[in-house]
Structure 1
Amino acid sequence: MAGKRVIAICQSGGEFETDKDGFLSYKGGDAHAMEIDDKMKYKDFKTEVAEMFNSNLNTMTVKYFLPSNKKTLITISNDKDLKRMIKFHGDAETAEIFVMTEVVVPEASHMPGSRSSRTTLSEAGVPVDAPPNVMEEDVADDSNQAGLLLDANFDIVGDTNHGDVDIDIPAEIAAPINAVGSYNEKHAKATEMWQNNITGVGQRFNSVHEFREALRKYAIAHQFAFKYKKNDSHRVTVKCKEEGCPWRIHASRLSTTQLICIKKMNPTHTCEGATLKNGYQATRSWVASIIKEKLKAFPNYKPKDIVQDIKQDYGIQLNYFQAWRGKEIAKEQIQGSYKEAYRQLPYFCEKIMETNPGSLATFTTKENSSFHRLFIAFHASLYGFEHGCRPLLFLDSLLLRSKYQGTFLAATAADGNDDVFPVAFAVVDSESDDNWRWFLLQLKTALSRCRDMTAGVDREAIAINTLSASRSMTIVADREKGLRESIAEVFKDDEIYHAYCLRYLSEQLIRDLKGQFSHEVKRLMVEDLFATAYATRPEGFQRCIESIKSISVEAYNWIMQSEPEHWANAFFPGARYNHMTSNFGELFYSWVSDANELPITQMVDAIRGKIMELIYTRRTESNQWITRLTPSMEEKFEKESLKVRPHQVLTASGSTYEVRGESIELVDIANCNCTCKGWQLSGLPCCHALTVIGCLGRDPYDYCARYFTTNSYRLTYSESLNPIPSIERPGRKDSSQGAVTVTPPPTRRPPGRPTTKKNASQESMKRQLQCSRCKGTGHNKSTCKEFALEF
């Protein structure tokens, strides 16, 4: 039997580009094809590929993508790798191969004259865990102290008499240095373009900053360190840091211009490269300039990878914080200034409401003009919620990891297919009672404006949603953070029900318990709490609460005092369609997490783009549906229909019918009620109701909540969200709010990585068991009591 054969499309000389989803695509270069099979040896394969592109076998690497992964390149380096590549492509007839050339760095042990010691930042007495307090300008750019190069983040080399820091050539890449400082092939190639950055007297630069950058790269290319003797906005004097070396350069501003010209230069070095102790001008701005292009292609470029790449390419040993600071500067250069984004907020809000009429975009500042909070609700979202979604809102928050931190507040809804639908969101300086109250006030205003705009205009939509202007609504949210009082106060004139988020409630229960309980006991109490909440009748509620009491009387008392009428199905007066927690909008929060390190205006615009794409995609998909209900609801409806059994149906009174079977239930057809509460909780007729509807010969679809119909779903996504043409702020005279100035909030991101540790209750909820036989929680099939009773 013949082995697996694949046509390898070999490509070389092009570049990888990253799209917005992080997928890589190869552009340009040459391509050749060859046939390979699982019998081919890696050596023969690599030789043939090298001949195709006239490549050096020693510097050539071969990579490929897995068929379902366009984000990670896989390297082929031996026979097994080659066979795996052929196997992974399964039934595919072709496989894309990418040929790359890399310069091999000689091992330290093979490098004559390498040194075994170097001076690092920690050895120089500099605290390497200094907080990464990123400044807007490089300190060196404004320093005018002669004889001292000062950088607040210890990035720049200076005079050792003033506590300077040297970054030496690492031992593993050190080698004899010739007259121009070319110490090995790879590093010489990486810095070759910088050899002539400084040409001599008469050379001009557009600014002092441009001159300094050119000088740093020149010093790196020629392998010497320097120190500033004069360094201000109009003149720069620099000398070699090695004592006695005559190399020197002086540049100053040409009168009546901003140009900087080299006036004097001694290009001669007498310092010995072989005993060089000087480091490089590895400032954060230099690091940013080096990594900027790669950061564009790979936004998740990590500081530890930056450290490794800079060391390999230039022989410079950075510490983590130097790389981190360099990345922060590069991000601002790519994305724009965080400070400028706050200044653009007034104009940005104007453009949102101009391009999306009916939207609400507003912000507030504090007395010192610093940013306080921003609220955004697009008309397409408001209209979709009012006319297509069930009257159910979820409120939750997310901490932002941006430069100026803050908190993201969101209101999301559930569409007819039980998918998340974004309604409104806000960015605030902190999560507080006052900020939540402000958010709710803006949300109420936005919804009222939407109703006023559509009243009397969209008659078809209003006819479908007869309760759009006065329907009762349920808000699922935490009871802490002032939400209990804020919801009651803001919506005091409306029929609003506040359902406590069961996730937050269980977390608070575990926090408040004073007894010493094991993890297993806490898990059981959380499971019993959820069972208590899901119980549809008071007797079921009582059974579950007694189970908690048997574990802990303290927990029982806490739960009984936690207002069960706000979270238990048996007593809750509103309709929340079995949605018990407020973190329903996980998809929405994932978008925010992906964009929250962007400047504030760009973050909002990225979220807007995601919502716009979501609306278009779901609208297009729903146009292909042929069922009366949405797919997920159609499936639930069919499952409930299978539960219908022969029951005895008796007329009780009027529209109420008594259904006798395994239990006796009363079904009120006119008011869509059943004493089992299945109809009220789900919005779909329960098996008892379906029995009555069948006896009456009526269409059961007429008794499903209208929010689950395909028509309502299409209404949800009927309005389009328009792009914002430009967020560049015009001159102050062109803006109606031009007098408003917004500055960043005083909060700054602390050093170190944010904690990811979950509290005990979340862990217990995550690890709860579910039986695969009876579908109950708290046990598995081997300990299932119901299964044991069958025998």
Structure 2
Amino acid sequence: MAGKRVIAICQSGGEFETDKDGFLSYKGGDAHAMEMDEKLNFNDLKTEVAEMFNCSVDTMSVKYFLPGNRKTLITISNDKDLKRMIKFHGNSDTAEIYVMTEEAADLDFSNMPGSRSSRTTLSEMEVPVDAPPSVVEEDIVDDPNESGLLLDANFDVVGDTNNVDDTIAIEAELPGPVSFAAANYDEKNAKAAHQWQSYITGVGQRFNSVHEFRETLRKYAIANQFAFKYKKNDSHRVTVKCKAEGCPWRIHASRLSTTQLICIKKMNPTHTCEGAVLTNGYQATRSWVASIVKEKLKVFPNYKPKDIVTDIQKEFGIQLNYFQAWRGKEIAKEQLQGSYKEAYSQLPIFCEKVMETNPGSLATFTTKDDSSFHRLFVSFHASLYGFEQGCRPLLFLDSIFLKSKYQGTLLAATAADGNDGVFPVAFAIVDSESDDNWDWFLVQLRTALSMCRGITFVADREKGLRESIAEIFRGEDVVHGYCLRYLSEQLIRDVRGQFSHEVKRLLVEDLYGAAYAPNPEGFQRCVESIKSISLDAYNWVMQSEPICWANAFFRGMRYNHMTSNFGELFYGWVSDAHDLPITQMVDAIRGKIMELIYTRRTESSQWATRLTSSMEEKLEKESLKIGSLQVLMPNGSKFEVRGDTIEVVDIDNCDCSCRDWGLTGLPCCHAIAVLSCLGRDPYDYCARYFTADSYRSTYSESIHPIPSLERPRRKDASQAAVTVTPPPTRRPPGRPTTKKVGSHEVSRRQLQCSRCKGTGHNKSTCKEVLLES
């Protein structure tokens, strides 16, 4: 078959069905085609298939049928298996392969048909998250006339009692065995297990389903501290014996004819083993752990895996490892919160509901060519109205990485209300932070805002924002102010390795001084200080477009807000909700904004001041400074004010040579001194955004709840539903980091050698040769 190519039809997401003759057919799911030849290796196959179906390589299982045999699935687990498969299909132009993922890990035998052939396809079946942990070990059935599967402890099918030649390997991820911690088991603390000791009463006891019987049996074994193994386990009968060698304890239950009831037919309740002392462990599965911790997770969402390990050991005498506790918690969270995958499929109806319940809002999403999620934009009418009616025309653009199952990034536009509080305006969830996604976000923001004229954006100059803001808001008199935080970080990156930690700190201080300097003279003094440290750093600063970040030259109004991470409160909400499914994450953020609007509206309704509380305080501080000032009263609208410095105040243009009035929007002490001499009220010269009335306008509209996301039946069958699947990105293995990275790299302490005084190493690793005196 040298040079022979086979077209592989790759299928995933469907189910196997068994006909009356025991032949398997695959129904539903998605299908893709690819070419295969003998040069293809197994890792490349898995990588390509993972890209096709947006699944993880680590949890993938690939299987196929031999030509002419539709009863037995063969697993491909290495390069040799792959070459055999291609060789077996040498006389065919096509071959079918089936892709299964970790969703089949917790197997529910109660969903299995009774025939032998269908029971050989466990890992291909759709299994609910709360499926019972059927722990089956390799064991020969006592009655050779009864059919049953032979499985080992890892759920690998090693044979069938009716046909031992039909051998397949069903791969499913299961936790390892968990032993009773007999030495540490505290009877007094095992209250939860004690109530299960009498769950099994004996022959004649009935259960509503096989699932209920297995759950009851598991609890009974935990309470009585013994391990068991299944000899038979299918949809209509279960036979179990004690795992200890020679122990006669045994139980057999089967379905009552014409009903779904399961009845215990035989039982030997006698144990001759020493239970936990002699057994090698009880098989605690992830779904069992999930059922135990689910209720506590409702009350304590931050219930840690290490605490789960401790609590289960105390309450049940079972010692879990960290991974089992973590995985059980993940399953419990999904049971409580809903499916991540289903949440993506709900996005079309979710966006419809947002705009239906909150008229004037904008909620829209896009998908990629393969229908996988790309990005979602949300802006509520209450936020848009509040920004346009009461907030300063100032928007902060920033992002936060999401540590959810499918990762992604949240992009946000936040504003500052009249009390210098965070006011969320719009946000988007995108697959990654890129120039294209920022461009798309700004296009949606431009669509949502009814008027954009005069807005100042405070944002990073990278990520394509400089070009996107200028292009999308062209003709709107929009100004882009570079975020000083990002600017200082870039300065430190560009001069990395040249200076000590202390010198870098001084460079950043001088950069901030230059940015806040109100006039060109102050700016020049600061950059000259940078020049005295490093000519390269000075050149970098002068080439970084000071007109876009320095107060002395900036042509827009930033009200002295210099960094884009103004919305820390909002990003805190996102961090609290990042592990929720996407629709629930958005709804959690909506709930926080709704609560914020209601709370601030209620508080401001009690104000008796003309300005907001923080602005009243600032104006009062400036008023206390006028006692030492002398005002010269010339004819006209310009006045000279003498104090520590001599300043000129232009009342008609609301300007002072100190620049504070123009930069903040509040009269400075020089202006207040002039207004006092003229008998005018300083409140009349404050920017309208700081008034209590404007603040109340900001929070005058409400955000309404979003009802359930059940999709209604479409009257027009021609209207095809939009399909949205999860993005291909998945959370990397391991526990997400919770350590917050500092804003500036300069905050890290740099090593300095005590021998040669160089940086970047210490004495023990110093390679300098020092001459002895």
TM-score by length of 1: 0.70
C-alpha displacement at 1:734, in angstroms? Answer: 9.6
Q: Secondary structure at the match of 1:373?
A: strand
Alpha-carbon distance in structure 2 between the residues aligned to 1:347 and 1:523: 51
**Is 1:419 the counterpart of 2:434 in the alignment?**
no
Q: Check if 1:356 corresponds to 2:364.
A: no
Please show how residues 108-119 of structure 1 align to structure 2 within 5 Å: none
| Equivalent residue number for residue 557 of structure 1 | 539
Partner of 2:662: 680
Q: Does 1:566 align with 2:567?
A: no
Letter in 1 for 2:106: V
Structure 2 segments unaligned to the other structure (5+ residues): 1-56, 61-100, 113-118, 140-151, 155-175, 750-773
Please give the alpha-carbon distance, in whole angstroms, between the structure 1 residues aligned to 2:323 and 2:276: 29
Instruction: Report SS of the residue matched to 1:615.
Output: helix
C-alpha spacing 1:353/1:256, structure 2 compared with 1 (3 Å): farther
Equivalent position SS for 1:279:
coil
Alpha-carbon distance in structure 1 between the residues aligned to 2:402 and 2:388? 29
Do residues 584 (structure 1) and 586 (structure 2) align?
no
Separation in structure 2 between the aligned mates of residue 352 and residue 146 of structure 1, nearest angstrom: 42
Query: Which one is further off, 335-344 or 161-170?
Result: 161-170
Answer yes or no: is 1:295 the counterpart of 2:297: yes
Aligned to 2:183: 172
Would the alpha carbon gap of residues 348 and 135 (structure 1) be closer, same or farther in structure 2, given more than 3 Å must change? same
| Alignment map for 1:653-668 (pairs within 5 Å) | 655-659=637-641, 661-668=643-650
Find out whether 1:434 has 2:429 as its counterpart: no
Letter of the 2:593 partner, please give it: I
Aligned pairs for 1:231-242 within 5 A: 231=233, 236-242=238-244
Relative to structure 1, is the Cα distance of residues 470 and 312 closer, same or farther in structure 2, using a 3 angstrom cutoff?
Answer: closer
- Aligned equivalent of 1:220: 222
Determine the structure 2 residue equivalent to 1:281.
Answer: 283
Residue 532 of structure 1: aligned partner: 514
Residue type of the partner of 1:693?
Answer: L
Contact residue 146 and residue 229 of structure 1 kept, 8 A: no
Shift, 1:252, TM fit: 5.7
**Cα distance in 1 between the residues matched to 2:570 and 2:394:** 16
Q: Is the 8 A contact 2:226 2:276 kept in 1?
A: no
- 1:508-537 Cα offsets, whole Å, 9 max, x none, are 211221434222222221111111110111
Question: Does the 8 Å CA contact 1:169/1:279 hold for their aligned counterparts?
Answer: yes
Other-structure match for 2:699: 717
Residues 159, 512 of structure 1: CA spacing in aligned structure 2 closer, same or farther, 3 A cutoff?
farther
CA 188–724 in structure 1, closer or farther in 2 if over 3 Å, else same: closer
Residues 536-575 of structure 1: per-residue CA shift (max 9 Å, x gap)? 1111111111111222222222222211111111111101
Deviates more, 1:239-248 or 1:534-543: 239-248
Structure 1: distance between partners of 2:382 and 2:281: 58
Q: Give 1:140's aligned residue.
A: 107
Say which SS state the counterpart of residue 139 (structure 1) adopts.
Answer: coil
Q: Within 5 Å, give how 1:43-54 maps onto structure 2.
A: none
Q: Does 1:647 align with 2:630?
A: yes
Post-superposition offset of 1:689 = 2.5
Q: 1:747 aligns with which of 725, 729, 753?
A: 729
The alpha-carbon distance between structure 1 residues 232 and 394, as it changes in their structure 2 partners (threshold 3 A), is: farther
Counterpart in the other structure of 1:479: 461
Deviation at residue 269 of structure 1 after TM alignment = 4.0
What displacement does 1:437 show?
Answer: 1.1
1:504 to 486, 497, 504: 486
Give the match for residue 33 of structure 1. none
**One-letter identity of the residue aligned with 1:315:** G
Counterpart CA distance in 2 for 1:264 and 1:258 is: 18
| Secondary structure of the structure 2 residue equivalent to 1:375 | strand
Are 1:690 and 2:672 an aligned pair? Answer: yes
1:342 and 1:202 map into 2 onto residues whose CA distance is 47
Q: Secondary structure at the match of 1:499?
A: strand
Change (3 A) 1:135 1:684: same
- Tell me the CA shift for residue 205 of structure 1: 4.4
Asked whether the equivalents of residues 373 and 727 of structure 2 are also in contact (C-alpha less than 8 Å), the reply is yes
Task: Give secondary structure in 1 for the equivalent of 2:729.
Answer: coil
Distance 1:324 1:535 in 2: 52
Question: Does the Cα contact within 8 Å between 1:159 and 1:241 map onto a contact in 2?
Answer: no
Give the C-alpha shift of residue 201 in structure 1. 5.5
Residue type at the aligned position of 1:598: L
Q: Do the aligned partners of 1:141 and 1:233 also contact (CA within 8 Å) in 2?
A: no
CA gap 1:683/1:339 in 2 versus in 1, 3 angstroms: same
Number of residues paired by the alignment? 607
Aligned to 1:521: 503
CA contact (8 A) 1:417 1:708 kept: yes
- The answer on whether the counterparts of 1:227 and 1:239 sit within 8 Å (CA) in structure 2 is yes
- Conserved 8 A contact 2:390-2:417: yes
**Structure 2 CA distance, aligned partners of 1:576 and 1:376?**
25
| Alpha carbons 1:650, 1:659 under 8 Å: kept | no
**Distance in 1, Cα, partners of 2:238 & 2:438:** 53
- Kept in 1: contact 2:629–2:642 (CA 8 A): no
Query: Which structure 2 residues correspond to residues 94-109 of structure 1 after superposition, within 5 A?
Result: none
1:626 maps to 2:608 = yes
Alignment of 1:347 with 2:349, yes or no, is yes
CA contact 1:390–1:707 (8 Å) conserved in 2? yes
- What 5-or-longer segments of structure 1 have no aligned partner? 1-129, 175-183, 449-468, 768-791
Conservation of the 8 A alpha-carbon contact between 1:347 and 1:737: no
Indicate if the aligned counterparts of 2:226 and 2:279 stay in contact, CA closer than 8 A.
Answer: no
Separation of aligned partners in 1, 2:251 and 2:302? 39
Aligned-partner Cα distance in 2 for 1:567–1:616: 35
Q: Which residue of the partner structure matches residue 373 of structure 1? A: 375
2:590 aligned residue: 608
What is the CA-CA distance between 1:256 and the residue it aligns to? Answer: 7.3
| Alignment partners' CA distance in 1, 2:223 and 2:553 | 76
Work out which of the residue numbers 579, 586, 600 in structure 2 matches 1:597: 579
Alignment CA distance shift 1:753-1:651 (3 Å): farther
Question: Shift of the alpha carbon at 1:665?
Answer: 3.4
In structure 2, relative to structure 1, the CA distance for the partners of 1:145 and 1:167 (3 Å cut) is: farther
- Residue in structure 2 matched with residue 326 of structure 1 by the alignment: 328
Which amino acid counterpart does residue 384 of structure 2 have in structure 1? L
Question: 1:493: Cα distance to partner?
Answer: 2.6
- 1:160 is displaced (CA, Å) by 7.9
2-side partners of 1:471 and 1:712: how far apart?
A: 19
Q: 1:500 to 1:371 in 2, by over 3 A?
A: same
Q: What does residue 98 of structure 2 align with? A: none
Contact 2:227 2:275 in 1 (8 A): no
- How far residue 761 of structure 1 moved from its aligned partner, in angstroms, is 5.9
Distance 1:394 1:275, change over 3 A: closer
Alpha-carbon separation, structure 2, partners of 1:389 and 1:483: 23
Separation in 2 of the partners of 1:135 and 1:203?
35
Look up the SS of the partner of 1:410 in the other structure. Answer: strand
**1:388 matches 2:371:** no
Cα distance in 2 between the residues matched to 1:145 and 1:601: 37
> What's the counterpart of residue 726 of structure 1?
708
State percent identity of aligned pairs.
75
Post-superposition offset of 1:392: 0.3
1 CA distance for matches of 2:188 and 2:670? 78
Cα-to-partner distance string for 1:339-369 (whole Å, 9 max, x where unaligned) = 2222222222212111111111111222222
What RMSD, in angstroms, separates the aligned Cα atoms of the two structures?
3.4
In 2 relative to 1, CA 318–409 (structure 1 residues): closer, same or farther, beyond 3 Å? same
Are the equivalent residues in 2 in contact too, given 1:522–1:761 (CA < 8 A)? no
CA gap 1:746/1:147 in 2 versus in 1, 3 angstroms: closer
Please name the residue that 2:72 is paired with.
none
More displaced stretch, 265-274 vs 703-712: 265-274
Offset from partner CA, 1:286-330 (integer Å, 9 cap, x none): 111112222212222111111001101111000111111111111
Q: 2:762 corresponds to which residue? A: none
Q: Distance in 1 between matches of 2:474 and 2:122?
A: 69
1:337 counterpart residue number:
339
Distance of aligned partners of 1:137 and 1:670 in 2 relative to their CA distance in 1, 3 Å threshold? farther
**Kept after mapping to 1: 8 A contact 2:489/2:745:** no
CA gap 1:692/1:225 in 2 versus in 1, 3 angstroms:
same
Contact (CA 8 Å) 1:140, 1:231: kept in 2 or not?
no
Secondary structure at 1:194's aligned position in 2?
Answer: coil
